[in-house]
Structure 1
């Protein structure tokens, strides 16, 4: 009991355990647990093992670890050992050697204990850093390529892809592949749905996580389409194609005809939507070019969209025509040419060897712009737009279908301009009563009508001609002479009689004349066919209309008749009034009132006086008559006087006084 060793050892042990707990409580400020200068301290020893690896410094979250102690730097054993699995954290100190980290991060694992008492070691400690790694599911894309091939892409820039290596199981019985590459290709032996398992692994660490991606292989890919080639100008063309997502890469190639090799001129990666590639720095006037687009699927397998070549067009203005020429488009699936003039389709040519066209439907000095489109089963190639100004030595032909009518006391001329000649100006010439033709008007630009100022068409005979100067400055032939009809009323025993001059100027003459009866608003209310006669008479008087208007309508002898109208003749009907000599107001129902009868009366007043001049009756309507009473009593038989004042529709007054007899 007096042995010093027996009294000192318990004190040292207690001191070491005191250090164990006190060092832990202040570990953030104390880098070591034992005094390195003390002969009673030693460095601990342990390894961290996982179920699959030994002595690791990195583990995955959720992977159980086992701490195995070993011989310290002094002595043989470590006694009374404890472990702190999270030096700065809330985990308690424990003697357990098994632990599982549940959160990623960097941890300090501290070993604390006592040594072999026979060596005098009283304190042993050691700390190691353990990196606990997250285990996200790897992010990958699996893309089907042509045939049964696939492309696996593991994007390194994705934060979930922090693994150093990946084990890829293609799911078809072939051995898994261990790789650090970001892309892998694989060829399956058969088409169908495929699922690939990707396991990400840390190295060192030997742990990670797995995920799957699926795709169907062997199905036909959506093929991109070559659409159109257009020659824009003398130094550029525009190539159009439609890409698809199944082919991420497109290489545009060019060759010069007749025998040049294809050269890559542009590469497009993952284009979206219809594409137009502008190609410059070429000479489309002197040279012809062909183009193709090579698309590559995700595995790099090429797909040729086909070839399309430029179309050259030459246009030459010749006398009265434009001459077009082009090289034959050499394509096995050629379908035809479409020829456009001023953006309007004028000709479709299905014959492949055709290489020329003559446009004769042109007008001198007018510009025409042409474009040729070559069509195949898949694409179309558009030439550059070529413009020329038409020329001609031809004398322009006269205007067609010239007609003359009278409207509102004005002569109106209408004509049709020949389509082959554009008029710079029109010249209207007039002759009066058989005299010489004189220029009446000059109309600038295109015209098809001329209206004379008001003139005395009732008393003068006018005839007209029309000529024009075309766009090349050449004067046309003069038209034929046209003379509108001149209508007049003839005094005769008939109720109405008319006569008119023959219409002249139509190529096929007059088919028939019509007499039109018009109201005051110009509406036709009656039409009589006069045949080819130049006179008309009507025996029956119209008792309704005080004013009657007449007009002659001539119709040409053509499939599509031309029409000419004469001047309008106005006939005012003469006022007519009748007063009876007697009346018998004896209540027998016959001749009971004394009243005026008449036609075409606008205003009316009738007064009745007895023999002494006394006013017995006044009436303001011709429908109102005197009933033979004076002051409400029957007037005696005898003579009476009627005083009548009326006015016709022209405002002309008429007065009449008549003596009549009242009989009973």
Structure 2
């Protein structure tokens, strides 16, 4: 390859045409070290494009020693720019770096070529040493300038130097993508063809006034060049051409195919809410969906961090259009601390090279609402962390607390909204001990933040009310004892919903050991004790109740069933009260043995007595009487009277006979008559003193034949003589019991 040099038309101008390629061999200008007070040399390359001053003073990082890239075949103009009227000539040397390092400055015989001129006459001459070929292809070269033909020792000599890299111009290697449907992003790849100092990228479209152009100086590869948002959707073409610093590089141009601008415009994600799930530390964000768009989720702890770490997303996911909102689950490190979240929409075609694309970052953030439940004085206290005064895209509005049913969905109870941001607790005293409750706390910023579902079983330190009204009633018809208890109104009586059960205890005597007998559900406050032998003894009872926390109340007052017993015609009953209050009075009732219903009271208003003698009753009440004791309480708190077992009373029958009679027809004691009580049948036989039966009579209905007897007449109709006689009575009372009585009687006239 030949050296091409052309003549510069003006004084102080020199054009050198160089055809070159590049290699990475670096050189450094030799430091001439001019004497103090001497100006360094100066020259320009292609006018104002490049200005070279001095030789870099031996510093490797000096501008003179950083290679300027020049394209092979590019024409460059070298011009002395020092202001020195005494300068009479300028020489330039161009040589490969490999040769330059062994030369002194200036060389006595230039190895390349020199261009000299006279500042006085304006003549320019170009001399080429044809015996030396200085160009060896693309690589590192050195350009030096001397403004005097001397040997550099005199003080008017000025030296300048610049290292250059000759590169072979190639078509740039690029890729591209359409971003957000309205932007083209060009990528200058890391490729050997991309060795320019500068590139010009032009975006054009027919019929559009928006045709941006960019000059780019890559610091490294790959390098991205964006068109920016294009205001219309016309198809686009872009070109990329390499440029040298000297500005006249004949580089080939890369031209893209026609690019369609009808892609999807990526929207900023909109976060409407964050809600705690049933899984510990898990929250679900509702993010507006955009089909097949990738998303990133970022998290921060507001106690420790103001800004998000956009280099470290906590979640990556792809949005879907099957629903209006994506429900995105995130896990927080500590459920008791507050965390905030933002999301970014990611253009898969154009991933950002910086931390985050602010244009695609959600305009709002959402923050969790950590909450907690505790029991305080038998009430549930709901507490939560203070909301942030403001968050990105939102301002605090209020707190809301909701109580849910056990399904965790249906709202059981609303509480008034809390507008004071510093109010961080709410007390719910409308709870039942032992029952499970579910709560959630909502912070409204515009965006809604809902805590995780919080569950607690209510406990209580409040004393349990005593069952005040208890009674034990013997139900003889069914051979059992009914025990029932109620609460006195206004004594803190529980609702059935607050109760676990009623409990019944029994002892075989007032001072006996009480044993648990039976429990019932809260809606049943009574039992029928069929295990009690009501005709054998009295039984004593007390009641308690348990709340849903399994706490048991104090026992009620003890009550004892009334046990009725008899001894001949006297009845007795147990004195212990069958009521938790005292007994006002007792009543003795006559009972129908068939229906077991009360026929009538036989005694009433019996107070402080526990016995009754039936002998004082009229015979018309019968020999056998069925009796039952009925008790009435002293207060109206217990409206029901209680009863005893039914006792069967046998009143004794009686046969009375006179010792003598006088059958003299004086109307007084004329007949030997038997007086009987409860006698049904009677047979009477009279014997003389020889044992002969002299009289006999009988009846099966003594009550209607009370005049049955002997008037002293013998069988033959004669009057018996005065004297002693023997009688025999054979009777049967109304119960069928046989009675035999024998004795003597005296007959006198």
- TM-score, with normalisation over the residues of structure 2? 0.34
Q: Report the structure number with the largest CA radius of gyration.
A: 2
- TM-score using structure 1 length: 0.37
- Structure with greater strand percent: 1
